[in-house]
Amino acid sequence: MNGTDAIVLNIKEIRRRSIKVWQAIPDDKLDWKPDKEAMTCIEMVRHVLESEYYYHLAIENLGSLKEFDSPFEKRPLQSIKDELEFAASYHQQFLDMITTFSEEDLTNIKIDRSDVGYIRSLGDMLMRIGYHESVHAGQLLQYLRIMEVDRPRIWD
């Protein structure tokens, strides 16, 4: 397994486990949040899906975007199922893009996000994208705990 294959596997596994967490959120708790400053459950799911789309474009752009027209932005927040169905093709395009990179690309291509404080190699950036989703999965597991909702078994 090369680095690109490992990154794709990691992203697929993160998404598989995120979906388990997301689907454990009861429909009547989608708008729940622990405090007024936090995202609701469904807003956090949207944030993860939309961020992946942004990061995909940023990688293609080799850095932050000056303008970002999100296909997610004007869609109403309805359900986890709706969010996943809408994002499915974007997620697949992201995975397909990753498979086009060589081992050398992972090290040699630089993604310039100096506007937010970093310039990283493509491999590092791809791992950060997975980490971002993982952090939010952990946050939602904590939300479920606070709401006293059964949490899914993600360590299968």
What pLDDT digit, counting tens, does each position of 53-62 carry? 999 999 999 9
Query: How confident is the model at residue 147, as a pLDDT?
Result: 97
- The count of other CB atoms within 10 Å of the CB of residue 13 is 13
- Please give the average per-residue pLDDT across 132-142, as a whole number: 98
- Find the domain containing 105 and state its range: 3-147
pLDDT at 112 over 90: yes
pTM, rounded to two decimals:
0.96
Flag whether 156 is in a domain.
no
Flag whether 120 is in a domain.
yes
Work out the mean pLDDT of the chain and round it to a whole number.
97
Helix axes 80-99, 3-23, angle to 10 degrees: 180
Q: What is the CATH number of the domain that holds 136?
A: 1.20.120.450
Flag whether 79 is in a domain.
yes
Flag whether 136 is in a domain.
yes
Which residues 6+ apart lie within 8 Å of 76 measured at CB?
Answer: none
The distance from CA 63 to its chain's CA centroid, rounded to whole angstroms, is: 17
Query: How confident is the model at residue 122, as a pLDDT?
Result: 98
Flag whether 153 is in a domain.
no
Distance CA 67, CA 94 (A): 19
Query: How confident is the model at residue 140, as a pLDDT?
Result: 98
Flag whether 75 is in a domain.
yes
Query: How confident is the model at residue 60, as a pLDDT?
Result: 97
Residue 133 has which token pair? 């989703």
Flag whether 29 is in a domain.
yes
pLDDT at 78 over 90: yes
pLDDT at 156 over 90: no
- The count of other CB atoms within 10 Å of the CB of residue 122 is 22
Number of structural domains (the chain) is 1
